[in-house]
A and B are shown apart, each in its own frame.
Chain A
Amino acid sequence: MAGRQIVVPFGPQHPVLPEPIHLDLVLEDETVIEAVPSIGYIHRGLEKLVEKREYTDYIRIAERICGICSFTHSVTYAEAVEKTMGLEVPPRAHYIRTILMEYSRLHSHMLWLGLAADAMGFENLFMNSWRIREEILDDMEMATGGRVIQNLCTVGGIRKDVPDEMLGQMSDHLKEITPRMEELCKIFSHDSSVRHRMRGIGVLSKEEMWELGAVGPTARGSDLALDARCTGYSAYGELGFKPVVEKEGDCLARCIVRAKELMAAADLVHAAVRDMPDGPVDVGKIKGGPDGEAFVFTEQPRGEVLHYVKGNGTKHLVRHRVRTPTIANIPPLVKMLAGAELADVPIIVLTIDPCIGCMER
């Protein structure tokens, strides 16, 4: 049968892909035998830039590694630098960071749910998801000045305090839109057209996910409770948190994990606003430069991200390295695609929530 195999290129330009990744799909009739990924279309060389910019200015660049999970990138970088310098960030800054990280999870998941609906041709649901997302973005702009790029986090705390009244307003607004998020979650888990399109495709077991090193909702959809928030960075340790998991391991399970995480994120925001401590939001003027090296893991909307920084005591870091969740989720994707139908490829690629801009930096 080897003679009948053909290779169909998928991407870098494809309607379901918001960002460029290329897959060579080796097909036999309509079935994918093998998928060969190739990356490197939007490498921007941001890690190298750390040598040219001071570590306090570089956080603005670290935030712009990704256009969706931007705030988590800046917090992770800041925590890594704080670790090398031994800075104790005040608790209020930790809580505000946590609230905004959960807000960015809300808007990222809402964006993904909309894109998934769009990929299966469910335009109405796509519009509905993005309609709710827009209100989340407005709240973020009110609190920080930016819809997607917040620019709030800085080394040693946050730049500008978010007053309690504003936090209360955000929490109240979130309570108002929670019934609509629950309705959205119900549509994704119950609607027959969504179930027909997603159920039973791209299945990987818990063991396979573990062996291939999957992270984030991709792993949690296969009953693998991997969540960096359990390590208790920022204020997560005090807020009490349980990861959302689903057992089936197919595309629908990964979709439902993201839909349910909307509610989990809203609960975390309410808990953080309720327990918000008073006090300063930064450590004041910082002297000296980072000396030594540090690894920090945090949980992005797409999974676990690692930031590594190394400094030599000067204002310029020697090395900054980022390992994003998408690169960890590519091997499971390749395994999921082997044996899938050609028509199912777009939706399987989408369910790992590929963020290529993040992955290539």
Chain B
Amino acid sequence: MGLFAMTKRALANVIAKPATLMYPVKPAKQFERSRGMLTITIEDCIYCGLCSRHCPAEAIVVSKEDRTWQVDRLRCIICAQCVDICPKSCLSIVPEYKKSVAKPPFVDLYQGPPAPPKPEKKAQEE
């Protein structure tokens, strides 16, 4: 042993393939459960704001008037607390990472479709 305890492993490592991946030539490892990025199906959103209220990092801003949902990618810690809390299950975590950007905006804004004409219907009924 003594001096040469490491020799066997060092020789094995010389012959073996590298442990690292040639990223970005080869894609990074991903698993089905990997938490890469938070996404929303904006069509299903009811703008209740529960995700925003429960976000530990205060990364989400929801506006009911403008029908927008926005997430600050630099604040989001991808903890999936919003995914658990969403009553319409329209939030999800996907394994793909958000591509890095060099310039602002770092906030991703999702504009929802215009509100269905419910108030008009009520007016007609009345």
Contacts and interface: CB of A to CB of B under 8 A. Distances in A.
B2 A192 contact: yes
B35 A146 contact: yes
B34 A141 contact: yes
A145 B9 contact: no
B56 A145 contact: no
Contact of A186 (B5, B13, B34, B35): B5
16 contacts: A57-B81, A64-B77, A128-B9, A131-B19, A142-B33, A143-B33, A145-B93, A149-B77, A151-B79, A151-B80, A159-B84, A183-B8, A187-B9, A190-B1, A191-B2, A191-B5
Contact of B9 (A149, A160, A183): A183
Interface in A49-72: 53-54, 57-58, 60-61, 64
B10 interface: yes
Contacts of B23: none
Contacts of B6: 124-125, 128, 187, 191
Contacts of A218: none
A35 B45 CA distance: 58
A141 B33 contact: yes
Interface in A4-63: 53-54, 57-58, 60-61
A145 B33 contact: yes
Q: Which interface residue of B6, B34, B35 has the most chain A CB atoms within 10 A?
A: B6
B54 interface: yes
A331 B101 CA distance: 46
Interface residues of A, number: 30
- Interface residues of B, dominant DSSP: loop
B10 A145 contact: no
Interface of B: 1-3, 5-6, 8-10, 13, 19, 29, 31, 33-35, 54-56, 77, 79-81, 84, 93
A24 B31 CA distance: 47
Contacts of B29: 138, 141
A58 B79 CA distance: 11
Interface of A: 53-54, 57-58, 60-61, 64, 124-125, 128, 131, 134, 138, 141-146, 149, 151, 159-160, 183, 186-187, 190-193
Contacts of A53: 56
A134 B9 CA distance: 17
A12 B2 CA distance: 35
A58 B3 CA distance: 50
B12 to A, nearest CB: 10
Nearest to A138: B29
A192 B9 CA distance: 16
A124 B56 contact: no
* Interface pairs A-B: 5 shortest CB-CB: A145-B33, A191-B5, A60-B79, A190-B1, A145-B35
Contacts of A128: 6, 9, 13
A142 B5 contact: no
Contacts of B84: 159
B56 A57 contact: yes
Contacts of B31: 141-142, 145
Q: Which interface residue of A64, A145, A192 has the most chain B CB atoms within 10 A?
A: A145
